Amino acid sequence: MNRVAGTAVAVLFTVAAAGSAPAASGAGAASAENYPAKPIRFLVGFPPGGGNDTMARMFGQKISERLGRPLVIDNRPGAGGNVAADLTAKTLPDGYTILMISSSHPIQGLLKKNLPYDPIRDFSGIAQLVVYRSLIVVHPGVPVNSVRELITLAKARPGALNFVSAGAGSGSHLAGELFKLAAGVDMTHVPYKGTAQALTDLMGGRVQMMFTPLAPVIPQLQAGKLRAIAVTSSKRSRILPDLPTIAEAGVPGYEFTAWYGIVGPAALPAAIAAKINAAAAYAMESPDIRDRLLAEDMDLIKRTPAEVDAVRKADYAKWARIVKQTGIQAE
């Protein structure tokens, strides 16, 4: 997260069978029968070290193992992930360029003006990997220990409370905007370029609160540098079972979860998408991946490519209503 690549960063995952066949090229490479016949480029729209990058590397190694070909992790940071997304949208739909996305990807067209691609129409779903909840965490100096106390404070001081995010349009931003709408409070959003700096300023008391996944804040919670007051999902966390959900704590109906997944360009042949999907399912069975993600309070989820497309469309419809009500923008 603290390393910004000046050029594309490529990491090659090799497997025993990688060199056993010559690289294929052209339209013939798109046939499902001989796919994959050469290395696959796995685009990531963010620098090394972030959530998208970590997921791509974790799953990429196992997908490579299953498919018998290398996966090249190609970091193309810029414009909140839209540089890599645009590149994917415009590439040949032959299965040799795929993209790691998060749940904020399908709604980019709602949040940003003049996108060079359509987040729904220009992509084919391949796999959904994990779903995860977030926490409301506050600086210890904020005099609240519950969601009800947070709402009372926010209503007493409209606009005075700041919530920080990993960037405009990020999951941490959207979770906060949904909370403002559901709880009927006015809080000020402060966007950062990534989670690391956001957490640094939160621990320093320069901002008051954040909606964040559990994994980045485990050390800070254990050290008492941050305090968690609720979880955003409809069910409680396995890791923090005593922490109430936001809905339980006074905002009925509130629910926010996020996810990571894989897409390819539009018109990707169904048989090729199915092969990558099966390789992702194989990765989910790996004990090291499963144990690591469960320890970070993430839930592995298997969906077909068609189901991934349905999730992307449903998220777009849900957030279209919320964006209309709130007027939020990513820029």
Q: Are 24 and 124 found together in one domain?
A: yes
Any domain includes 291:
yes
Any domain includes 244:
no
CB 312 within 8 A of CB 158: no
Q: Are 182 and 127 found together in one domain?
A: no
User: Is residue 331 very low, low, confident or very high in pLDDT (cuts 50, 70, 90)?
Assistant: low
The predicted model gives 15-35 an average pLDDT of: 50
Q: Are 77 and 214 found together in one domain?
A: no
The predicted model gives 174-201 an average pLDDT of: 90
Any domain includes 203:
yes
**Helix (H), strand (E), coil (C) string for 85-110:** HHHHHCCCCCCCEEEEEECCHHHHHH
Give the pairing of strands 227-231 and 123-138.
Answer: antiparallel
For 50-69, the pLDDT digits (tens) are: 788 999 999 999 999 999 99
The predicted model gives 160-189 an average pLDDT of: 91
Domains in the chain: how many in total? 2
- Which spans in the chain are helix H? 51-67, 82-89, 108-111, 147-156, 171-183, 195-203, 218-222, 270-284, 287-295, 305-326
Any domain includes 286:
yes
Any domain includes 78:
yes
* Beta-carbon count within 10 A of 75 CB: 26
CB 66 within 8 A of CB 283: yes
Domain boundary among 214, 231, 248: 231
Please give the residue range of the domain that contains residue 204.
133-231
CB 69 within 8 A of CB 114: no
299, pLDDT greater than 60: yes
Residue 285: its H or E element: none
Q: Are 285 and 315 found together in one domain?
A: yes
Q: Are 166 and 264 found together in one domain?
A: no
Closest by Cα among 312, 147, 161 to 228:
147
Share of the chain above pLDDT 90, in %: 69
The CATH number for 80's domain is 3.40.190.150
Domain boundary among 231, 246, 268: 231
Q: Are 139 and 119 found together in one domain?
A: no
Q: Are 114 and 36 found together in one domain?
A: yes
User: Is residue 30 very low, low, confident or very high in pLDDT (cuts 50, 70, 90)?
Assistant: low
Q: pTM for this structure?
A: 0.83
Question: Peptide bond preceding 36: is omega within 30 degrees of 0, i.e. cis?
Answer: yes
Q: Are 126 and 15 found together in one domain?
A: yes
29, pLDDT greater than 80: no
The CATH number for 218's domain is 3.40.190.10
The predicted model gives 40-45 an average pLDDT of: 96
Any domain includes 249:
no
Share of the chain above pLDDT 70, in %: 90
Any domain includes 284:
yes
User: Is residue 80 very low, low, confident or very high in pLDDT (cuts 50, 70, 90)?
Assistant: confident
For 252-267, the pLDDT digits (tens) are: 999 999 999 999 999 9
Q: Which residue has the tokens 């909370």?
A: 179
Q: Are 27 and 168 found together in one domain?
A: no
The predicted model gives 83-106 an average pLDDT of: 96
Any domain includes 248:
no
Separation of CA 169 from chain center: 11
Q: Are 145 and 102 found together in one domain?
A: no
Q: Are 28 and 127 found together in one domain?
A: yes
Q: Are 34 and 181 found together in one domain?
A: no
